[in-house]
Structure 1
C-alpha cells in the first residue's frame, strides 16, 4: 500500500459494514501500518486522547461567587456603614460576603472535573501491529487503521471494528447499562442498531471480560463513543436550583422595595417636615441598613452546610451546597437500573427440575440464603434432581467468588459467578470432582462442557449453556421418579418462557455418564444422547432496600422512573418487582420510540411512562429535559459513563460511590457512599427539612428587619425623633442573625415530612401566609417599639435610656418570636417541644449575655450610644415580647382553622 494512497480516516457507522470493507476504507493491512504511516496519520487526526477543555482561572472561579443580588445588597450595606464611619460593622458585613464566597468556591464541583473523570477510563497502553510485528505502544499514539489485539483483562484503547473474535466478551455496562458482558463477533449489524447491539464493535474505555480478539481502529480520541459522551457533558447546560431561582427573585423584589421606600423617606422628610437634607439622608441610610437582611445569606449558607454534614452521616456526600435543598423539592427521580436499583450482581433466583420448582433466597455474590421447595428448605442430599443440576453448574465452572474488603467479588463471568454462589448456598464442594478435559464457552456454541470423575469414581460429562442448544442435544430427561424418561420438550419450553417473562436469564444443565476409559472431550461427544436435568433462572436482582425506598417516595408524592440500557423484558420484570407498577398497567418505552418521538410528544411520554429500556445517553438526556420542560424538578441517579450527561443536566445528579465511574461522580452533585437507592429517600427527607428550616429562618429574620425599617420609616413620616441610630440597628441585625436565626438551622424534621407532596416547583418561597405573618409581626414589634419610645420620652426619660429600651424591645420581642418560628403552622404551646431543639435555648442564653454587655459595659455604651437600665426598664420589653408570642400563636391557630376548612 502506498503511503500516498488516499484513505478514509473517519468511517460512518462501521458496525454496519463488513470487516473487509472497513479495512479497505481505512487503507489498513493485516500486517498493520508502518511506523511512518502511523506517524503521518497521527499528525492528521491528533493523539488518541480526549481534549482538555478551557478552564476558568482561580480568581474568576472565586469572584463568580460574588455575582448574586443578595451579595450586591450586602456590599451596598457595607458601603453605607463605611460612609457612616462604622468600620467594625463594615468589616463584619464584608467578612460574611467573603466567607460565603469561600464556601461556594470549596464546595461546588466543576463540570470540567467530570470530563477529567472520563479521561481516567482511557487505556494507557495497547498491543498494536506495526511493521508486521506485534508491539506494545502508547495508547494515545493509536490512529485509525491500526490493528489492535485484545485479551482478557485489557481495557479497549480505541473504538475498534472487530476482524477476529474468539470467545470474546466485553463488559460495556458503563456505556450501555447492561448487566452482563456482551458477546462479540465479526458480523455486521443494522445501521440503526444501538451501542449495546453492535456486536462487531469494541468501544474505547470498556473492559474485555473473556476471550480474545483483533480489531482495526475506526475512531480515536474525541471521535470515539466515549468522546461523543464527553462532548455531550461539555455541552449540557445546567439549570439553577429552585432555591437560587426563588432567592434571586425574592432579593430583586426586596431590593426594589427598600430603595423605593428610602427615596420616599427622603421626599417626605424634606417636603413635609422641612428636615435638613443631611439629617434625612442619614435617616434614609439608617432605614436601608435596617431593612437589608445582612445575615440572610450567611444563615442560608450555614443552614445548607449543616445539612451537608447531616447528609454525610447518612452516606450521601454532597459536592454542591444548594443540591441538598434541591433534593427536598424533587418531584421525579429518574434512576438507572443496573447497579442503582439492582445490585449489578447476577443472582440465581429459581431452579426448575422434574422434581419441583425451587426458589433461591439471597442476593448478589454473598453466599447467604437458602434453597426452598414449596416454602420448605431443600437440601441436595435429599433432593436428587437439585443435586444433579447443582453438580453441573458448580463443576463446569471456571469462576471464583471471594470476599475482599467486606465485599463479595467475582473473578470471571458474572453469570458463572451467580452459579458458583448458588453452589455455595447448596453446600456443594466442586473441588471433589477431578477434571480431565473441557470445552470452553464460545459465542457460536453458547455452552460449556467438562469431563470429570465424581467422588464416587464415575466418569461424567457435564454440560451447561443456552436452553435451546442443550435441548437439541438431549433425547432424555431426569424424570420425577429419578429415572430416565423421554424428553418432554414442550414442558421445558413452557418453563423457559415463564422464566423469561420474569426477566430472568435462563440457563440449562445436562449430563451423561461415560466409560472410565474416556480421557478427552470433543464437540462430537455432546451430539450423543445427553440427559436434560433442569433450568436455572438468573437475574440482576433488585436491592430490597430500594423497593422500600420507592414505596416511601410514592408516599411522598415523588414519582420514580427507571431509565436503563437493558432489554425491555428485563426492565419490565424488575419494574414490577420494584413496585413501579403492576403487570397490567406497566408500560415500557424503548429507545427506538424515544428516538422517533418529537420533543412535544416526548413530554407526554416522559410524564406518563415509568420505565424506559434500551436507552442511549442521548435518550436519557432528552427524557430529563422533557420532564424539566413540564416543570418537574428532576433527580437523576446512575453509575455509568452513559449516565453522566443526564446527571449533569438534572436538577440534582446522584452518583453511586462504590460502583460508579469517576466521570459519573464528578458530574453529580451528590455521591452515595453506600450505592444504596434508599439513601436518596433519606436525602430527600433531609432536603425537605432543610427547606423548612430555611423558610423558618426567612420568616424569622424578615420581621426583624421589617420592624426596624418600620420604626425608622414611621419616625420620618410622622416627624418624630429617631428611636434607633444606624449603629444600634446594625447591632440588632448582628446579634439576632448570629444567635437566634442560626438556632433554626438545627430544627429537626417536622412530623409527616415524607407524607406530604413535594412543593410545587413554581411556588414562591414566601407564600401568602408567610407574607401575612411578616407584616403582622413587623407591625406588632415595630409599633410597640415606637409606642414605648414615645411614651418614655413623654415621661421625661433621657434619650439614651429610651433608645436602649427600644433596642431591648426589638431584641426581646424577637427572642419570643423565635419560639413561634420553630413551627410554621403547628402550635408552639406544647411543653414536650420545648427541648427538641436545645440550640434555641442556648441561642437565647447567648443573646441575654450579649444584651447585658450592650446595656452595662462602658465601652459598649460609648460605641453604641446606650445607657445602663434599671430593673423596671426590663419589664416593659419582656411584657411586649410575651404579648407578641401569644398573639402570633393565636394567628397560627386561626390559619390552621382556615386550612381545615379548605
Structure 2
C-alpha cells in the first residue's frame, strides 16, 4: 500500500486533491479491509495515555525542601544525643506537613480524564458504500464522516458536501455563535475560527447535515494538540511557595552562621563539646519556625472555606494567596464576560434606531440607547411579526424554566417578541404557515408563506444584500444606505439580518420570497455582556489589576464587548489578532512593548494564549487566566492561577484550573482577589510574629552562651514553644478577616519577598525587646535572687512563652491599641486562652513537666514571669509612639 500523504494544513487543500492524496472514494468511503489497514498504521482515534506519577513518587516529593532536610538532620542529632522525645516531636511535624501536601497533590491529577471522555461517542462513516455506525476510536484517516444535527464530530475532517450545516465551536475557538459550514477554501492564513470547510473533533453539530473526509485523528486533531499542550504546560511554584522557600534559605544561613559562631567561640573557650553541640542544636530548632508551613496551610484553607461560601471553589490552597497577588488577568470573552447566548441587541428601522435589552422571562423590554419612540411605530410591530413567522425555533417557559429548541438566532427572535409583549403562539395561529423556502448558502434568505384574513402574508429574513435586492420599491440610494448600515453593524461586532414582508390577496407561486418585498429593517444580534462584569472590572482598575481579553472570536465582536463592559476606555481601542502575533521566539523588545499595551486579542489560538501568558510572566507579573472552553485548558494550567467557569464551562477547563466559579460571575473573581490579599497580609503578619518569636529564642540562647551564664532554654522547650504556644496566636492572625483598604491599593510587587527590609527591621526590634525582657528576668533571678540553673531555666521558658503570647498585640495596623483588627479578632482571644491553659498543663501534669524538665516555681519567680511577659508590649508601644511623634 502506498504511503498516504496526510496534509499539515488541510484547510488549504482542494477536495479533489485530498481525495487523491488519501486514496478514498467520497461516494463509497473506504473498504473494510482498507480501513483496518489504516487503523493498524495510524492507530486508534483516541488521545494518548500519559504515564502518571506513582503514589510513592508523590509521597516522597513531600519530603523535599530545605526546611525538611534541616529538621530531619535535627531529628537525627536528637536521637544520637539520646533526646528521643525531641526527635519524635520533630518527625511528627514533618509527617503532618507531608500528609497535607500529599492530599493536595493527589486531588490535582484529574485534568486529562475529561478530555478522554470526549472520545467515547459513536461515529457514522461511509464504508463499502454504506453508512455504518462504529466506535469513534475506529475512525481512521481517509474515512468519510456522515454528520447531522445532534452529532458530536468524531475527528478533524474536510467537508465536501453540506446542507445548512452549523457547528458549535465555542469550546474550541471561543466563537460565540454557531458556525456556518461550507466547502469553499478559506485563505491560507485563516485561524481555526475561519476554517469553515472543516469539522473539528469534539464539537457538536447544531443544524444541517454534511459529509467530510477525515484528515486528523487522536493526537493529530486540534483537540489532541490542546491535550498535548495541557500535558506539557509546566506549572511553576506558586509565588507563596517560592517566597516561603526564599525565607527558609535566609533562616538556614542565619542558623548556620550563629551555630558556627557559637561553636567556634565555645571551642576557643575550651567548653565541653557535647554541651556546645546541644546548644547549637537548640539554635537550629529555634531558627526554624516549624509551625510556619502548617499555619500557612490552615490560613489558606480558612480562606478557601470562606470563598466556598461565596460560590468560589479552590482546588489548590496556595491559589487563594496567588490570586491576591495577581496583577494581570487574562479573560476569555464567551461565557466569562458575556452570557454565552444570542440576544437581539440593535434595531435599525428605515427611519429609527435603538439599542434594546430584552427579558423574555419577565416580558420586559427596555430601550437603552437611541429612539425611545421606536416601540410605538407600526414598522416595529411588523418587524416582530416577520421575526416570529419566518422562524423554525421554539421557546417556552416550563415551570418557570426556559426551554429552547432550534437555531439560537431564531430563539432570540422569539424571546424578543415575548419581551415586547407578543405571544409567538398566537401569531402563528393568526398566520398559519402554508409554505417555506428554506435558507440555503446560494440564496442566503429564508421565506415563509402564511394565510391571513382571506389573504396571504410573506415573511423573509436573510443577508442584507439579498433581502434588499428583493425589495423593488427601494431606489438605489436607499438600498445602498441600508446596506451600509448593515456593514457598519457587522463592523461593530453584530451578526446582522435583514427583514422584509409582502401582503397579497392571491396565493403567490413558488417564488413567493423572491420579489415585491417591503423592507422592514435590520436586527443586530450579540452575545450580551454579563450585567455584573462592568462594576467588577471597575473594581479591578481601582485595585491596580490589568484585565486583558483573549478570545478566539471575531475582532469586531471582541472590541464591541470590551467597550460595552468598559474593559477598555476611549483611546484604548486597539485589537490584535492571531495573524498579527509573531512567533514568540521572533519577538523583539519593541514588539513585546506593543503587546504589553494591547488589552484585546481576537482570533487567538491556544498556543498563542500560552505565549501571551509566558510574556507577562517573564515581565514579572503574576498572571490569572479565566476561561470555560477546551481551548482555554492549556492556558489555565500555564497561568499562575487558572480560574474556570463552573456553570457553562467544560469539564476539561474546570479540572485543569486551580479555581472554579460556581456562578460563572467575573465579580466573584474580585471577591477572591480581595480574600487573597487579606490572606497574604495575614500570612505576612504571622510570619512577622513567628520570626520575631524565633529570633528572640536565638538571641536568648546565643547571648546567654556568649555571656557564659548557663543554658536558659533546652532544645525540647524551644520546640514546644515553636509548635504550641507560637502556633496558636499565629494561626489566629492567619484567619483574620478585616482589612477593607487592601482593594484600594495597587497589587504588591510580585518580585518583593514576603518580608521586606522594613519588616526585617521590625522582626529584629521585636526580638530584641522580647530578649531584653526575658534575659533580663533570667539574669535578675539567677544573679540577684539566687535561683538555681533549673529554676532559671523554668523562669525563661514561661517568661518567653508568656511574652510571645502577648506579643500578638504588637502586630496591629491601626493607631488605637485597644480597638483594631487584632482585638476585634475573636480567634486571638481563643488562642491566648488556649495557650495559657496549655502552659498551666505543662506545670500541673507530671508527664509534661517531666518531659519539659519543669520544676516548682516559687512566687517570686511567678511575678518575674508576668513582668517579663508584659514589659515587651510596653516597650514596643512607647517606641512606636515616639516614632509616630517624630514623623508628625
TM-score by length of 2: 0.95
CA shift in 2, pair 1:149/1:834, >3 Å: closer
CA shift in 2, pair 1:427/1:897, >3 Å: farther
Corresponding position: 1:591 with 2:578: yes
Corresponding position: 1:861 with 2:844: no
**Mapped partners of 2:363, 2:835: distance in 1:** 57
CA shift in 2, pair 1:715/1:584, >3 Å: closer
**Mapped partners of 1:406, 1:286: distance in 2:** 69
**Mapped partners of 1:397, 1:896: distance in 2:** 74
Matched position secondary structure for 1:114: coil
CA shift in 2, pair 1:802/1:373, >3 Å: closer
Is the Cα contact below 8 Å between 1:158 and 1:219 reproduced in 2?
yes
Pick from 374, 386, 402 the counterpart of residue 392 of structure 1: 386
**Mapped partners of 1:711, 1:594: distance in 2:** 60
Pick from 252, 255, 263 the counterpart of residue 255 of structure 1: 252
Q: CA deviation at 1:407?
A: 6.5
CA shift in 2, pair 1:404/1:48, >3 Å: farther
**Mapped partners of 2:190, 2:881: distance in 1:** 63
Q: CA deviation at 1:827?
A: 2.9
Q: Structure 1 stretch 874-883 or stretch 151-160: which is displaced more?
A: 874-883
Matched position secondary structure for 1:27: coil
**Mapped partners of 1:368, 1:633: distance in 2:** 44
Q: CA deviation at 1:494?
A: 4.6
Q: CA deviation at 1:57?
A: 0.7
Q: How does 1:633-652 map to 2 (within 5 A)?
A: 633-652=622-641
Is the Cα contact below 8 Å between 1:184 and 1:200 reproduced in 2?
yes
Q: CA deviation at 1:539?
A: 0.9
Aligned to 2:42: 45
Aligned to 1:631: 620
Is the Cα contact below 8 Å between 2:24 and 2:142 reproduced in 1?
yes
Q: CA deviation at 1:737?
A: 3.1
Is the Cα contact below 8 Å between 2:534 and 2:567 reproduced in 1?
no
CA shift in 2, pair 1:407/1:753, >3 Å: farther
Matched position secondary structure for 1:210: strand
Aligned to 1:808: 798
**Residues 702-751 of structure 1, C-alpha deviation per residue, up to 9 Å, x if partnerless?**
11111111111112222111112222222211222332111112111313
Corresponding position: 1:445 with 2:443: yes
Pick from 10, 14, 17 the counterpart of residue 13 of structure 2: 17
Aligned to 2:291: 295
**Residues 296-323 of structure 1, C-alpha deviation per residue, up to 9 Å, x if partnerless?**
1111111111121112122221111211
Q: CA deviation at 1:586?
A: 1.9
Matched position secondary structure for 1:113: coil
Q: CA deviation at 1:600?
A: 3.1
Is the Cα contact below 8 Å between 1:367 and 1:421 reproduced in 2?
no
Q: How does 1:203-602 map to 2 (within 5 A)?
A: 203-272=200-269, 274-354=270-350, 356-362=352-358, 369-372=364-367, 382-402=376-396, 408=402, 410-432=404-426, 433=428, 434-454=432-452, 456=453, 458-476=455-473, 488-515=478-505, 517-518=507-508, 522=510, 524-595=511-582, 598-601=586-589, 602=591
**Residues 798-853 of structure 1, C-alpha deviation per residue, up to 9 Å, x if partnerless?**
33333222122111211221022243xx3351426465210001110111111122
Aligned to 2:877: 889
Is the Cα contact below 8 Å between 1:123 and 1:157 reproduced in 2?
no
**Mapped partners of 1:79, 1:783: distance in 2:** 32
**Mapped partners of 1:88, 1:858: distance in 2:** 15
Pick from 706, 709, 728 the counterpart of residue 695 of structure 2: 706
CA shift in 2, pair 1:832/1:818, >3 Å: closer
Q: CA deviation at 1:262?
A: 1.2
Is the Cα contact below 8 Å between 1:371 and 1:379 reproduced in 2?
no
- The runs of 5 or more residues in structure 1 that have no matched partner are 478-484
Q: CA deviation at 1:872?
A: 5.0
Aligned to 1:481: none
Matched position secondary structure for 1:333: strand
Q: CA deviation at 1:633?
A: 0.9
Aligned to 1:26: 22
Aligned to 1:155: 152
Is the Cα contact below 8 Å between 1:465 and 1:509 reproduced in 2?
yes
Aligned to 1:876: 864
Is the Cα contact below 8 Å between 2:636 and 2:642 reproduced in 1?
yes
Corresponding position: 1:740 with 2:729: yes
Is the Cα contact below 8 Å between 2:254 and 2:287 reproduced in 1?
no
**Residues 730-773 of structure 1, C-alpha deviation per residue, up to 9 Å, x if partnerless?**
22112223321111121113131111111111112111111011
CA shift in 2, pair 1:726/1:106, >3 Å: closer
Q: Structure 1 stretch 585-594 or stretch 157-166: which is displaced more?
A: 585-594
**Residues 122-179 of structure 1, C-alpha deviation per residue, up to 9 Å, x if partnerless?**
3521111112211111110111111110000100001111110000011111111111
**Mapped partners of 1:422, 1:810: distance in 2:** 73
Is the Cα contact below 8 Å between 2:473 and 2:516 reproduced in 1?
yes
**Mapped partners of 1:410, 1:888: distance in 2:** 68
Is the Cα contact below 8 Å between 1:188 and 1:200 reproduced in 2?
yes
Matched position secondary structure for 2:519: strand
**Mapped partners of 2:403, 2:80: distance in 1:** 67
Q: CA deviation at 1:487?
A: 8.2
Q: Structure 1 stretch 486-495 or stretch 768-777: which is displaced more?
A: 486-495
**Mapped partners of 1:737, 1:256: distance in 2:** 22
Matched position secondary structure for 2:649: coil
Q: CA deviation at 1:448?
A: 1.9
Is the Cα contact below 8 Å between 1:475 and 1:487 reproduced in 2?
no
CA shift in 2, pair 1:147/1:374, >3 Å: closer
Corresponding position: 1:821 with 2:811: yes
Is the Cα contact below 8 Å between 1:566 and 1:613 reproduced in 2?
yes
CA shift in 2, pair 1:559/1:179, >3 Å: same
Is the Cα contact below 8 Å between 1:340 and 1:656 reproduced in 2?
yes
Q: Structure 1 stretch 690-699 or stretch 655-664: which is displaced more?
A: 655-664
**Mapped partners of 2:883, 2:467: distance in 1:** 72
Matched position secondary structure for 2:741: coil
CA shift in 2, pair 1:192/1:268, >3 Å: same
Q: Would you say how many aligned residue pairs link Structure 1 and Structure 2?
A: 880
Is the Cα contact below 8 Å between 1:177 and 1:564 reproduced in 2?
yes
- The runs of 5 or more residues in structure 2 that have no matched partner are none
**Mapped partners of 1:607, 1:369: distance in 2:** 42
Q: CA deviation at 1:377?
A: 7.2
**Mapped partners of 2:885, 2:874: distance in 1:** 17
Q: Structure 1 stretch 85-94 or stretch 334-343: which is displaced more?
A: 85-94
CA shift in 2, pair 1:651/1:40, >3 Å: same
**Mapped partners of 2:416, 2:777: distance in 1:** 81
Q: CA deviation at 1:400?
A: 2.7
**Mapped partners of 1:828, 1:25: distance in 2:** 81
Q: CA deviation at 1:878?
A: 3.1
Aligned to 1:622: 611
Q: CA deviation at 1:80?
A: 3.9
CA shift in 2, pair 1:659/1:707, >3 Å: same
Q: CA deviation at 1:402?
A: 4.6
Pick from 763, 775, 787 the counterpart of residue 797 of structure 1: 787
